[in-house]
Amino acid sequence: MTGRAFFRFLCAALAALMLTGCAPSDSPVIGTAANTDGITGTTGTDGEAETTGATGATGATGATGAETTAAPPATASPETASPETEPPETEPPETDPPETEPFLPSVGPDTVEELLASMTLHEKICQLFFIRADALDAGQSHVTSFTGAASETLAKFPVGGVIMMGENIKTPEQITALNAAISGALGIAPFISTDEEGGRVARLANNPAFGLKKYKSAADVGASGDEADALEMGRTIGGYLSLYGFNMDFAPDADVNTNPDNPVIGDRSFSPDAKIAARMAGAMADGLREHGVIPTFKHFPGHGDTAEDSHYGLAVSYKTHDEMLSCEWLPFMRAEDCIMTAHISVPNLTDGDMTPASLSHTVITDILRGELGFSGVVITDALEMGAITKMYGPGDAAVGAILAGCDMLLSPADLDEALAAVEDAVRDGTLTESRLDESVRRILTLKAKYGII
């Protein structure tokens, strides 16, 4: 039995054990939900900021309006106000993850087509959704264990991906078991991701229970200009993510930090120099891939030259096409597998249209896919973020992102409403099933490439 096959067997076994009551007695009991944040509020997260988000399956929709900027609330998110806290004196010593064999991907296009042909419309639509772990349970704010209620949620919504936030990650044993149980509960195994950029956005390394190597920031690594440093960073992070059951990372941050007043990117970017940022992001991605972890370049078309934080309201870049081509887009040309979009407006690319890039056909289909030739999976930034919810309801945002050319919808403000809207759009002809097939095919192909299915 291969290593990947054994892991799938282990996932199923752990899921079965946990469903029969093998979870710790103090583990919270979870119920059905579709809440991508688990906390009531106005803004969501692309996986980076642990900010308050939207309601669950029966929660409120986003408000309408065209607010282009919004001041952050008095209490800043950990992303904008460094999530790292002083570690306790008992913090375990920093350790390196065990060495693993280099990952060798394999692709099975025939299997992908057979699987796609066997799927129902509901199953196809569910593959497009990438939800928070907290969406597995409306009864608790932060899911840390897997029970029968979570299994029921996944049976109802066999989603394509699950993101783990910091609150979901407690100990090495706990997160390994949770990831395995979720993977084993789905017929088509999901992407399981987190934000492990290195620096202030690192869900595992910044948790003292793991004793992992920490990086000051991507900017600190990028300061050397040596790709070997970013490669080592990717290998280290990829090694421990794989060990704990993650198969995707929402990293590297491929933004070029050209605006010193940018409130959200800053030292998460490798460099204000586009060529250096491109080389370093590409090298980090190579290191992740060596361990079977899918890198996700973010945030296209480039969040580095904005003065607003899209977690709270619409951010705007006034760069022209040629300026972005020679700067912001250079790092994204290194992407092979997955790109995350940004909820920013780029009026000089869209003839003044202020539609967020994640919902813009011009940005996603004409530029990213057409001009730049990207053929991998495109995932939105979190649809529960203020830049979206202040202008669109969950259903309109979901349908709009698919129409724009996105493949996966991260953390919708209301999963039930968003999924129902997509189903209705297919029925009334706004979306065609063949359009859904394009995205599901890309998703399944990427999963097959990395041995997830």
Q: Which two tokens stand for residue 284?
A: 């980090």
Q: What angle do CA 185, 336, 246 make, to 5 degrees?
A: 30
381 has catalytic annotation:
yes
HEC assignment per residue over 250-272: CCCECCCCCCCCCCCCHHHCCCC
336 HSE (CA, 13 A, CB side) = 15
Q: Quick check: 161 and 408 in contact, CB under 8 A?
A: yes
- Strand 129-132 and strand 409-410: pairing? parallel
Rounded Cα distance, 15 and 23, in Å:
10
311 has catalytic annotation:
yes
Rounded Cα distance, 198 and 217, in Å:
6
Rounded Cα distance, 252 and 262, in Å:
18
Catalytic-role residue among 134, 286, 337, 381: 381
Region of 199 please: left (phi>0), alpha (psi -120 to 50) or beta. left
What does 184-208 look like in DSSP terms, one character per residue? HH-SSPPEEE--B-SSSSBTTTTST
The number of beta carbons lying within 10 Å of the beta carbon of residue 375 is 11
Rounded Cα distance, 149 and 163, in Å:
18
Query: Which residue from 319, 324, 217, 200 is spatially nearest to 274, judged by alpha carbons?
Result: 324
Rounded Cα distance, 263 and 154, in Å:
36
Q: Which two tokens stand for residue 91?
A: 């913090």
Q: Which two tokens stand for residue 348?
A: 């000089």
**3-class secondary-structure state, position 95:** strand
Catalytic-role residue among 195, 311, 337, 407: 311
108 HSE (CA, 13 A, CB side) = 12
Rounded Cα distance, 85 and 73, in Å:
20
Q: Quick check: 388 and 379 in contact, CB under 8 A?
A: no
Query: Which residue from 239, 311, 313, 326 is spatially nearest to 277, judged by alpha carbons?
Result: 326
**3-class secondary-structure state, position 341:** strand
Q: Which helix (H) or strand (E) holds 409?
A: strand 409-410
Rounded Cα distance, 356 and 341, in Å:
9
| Positions marked catalytic | 311, 381
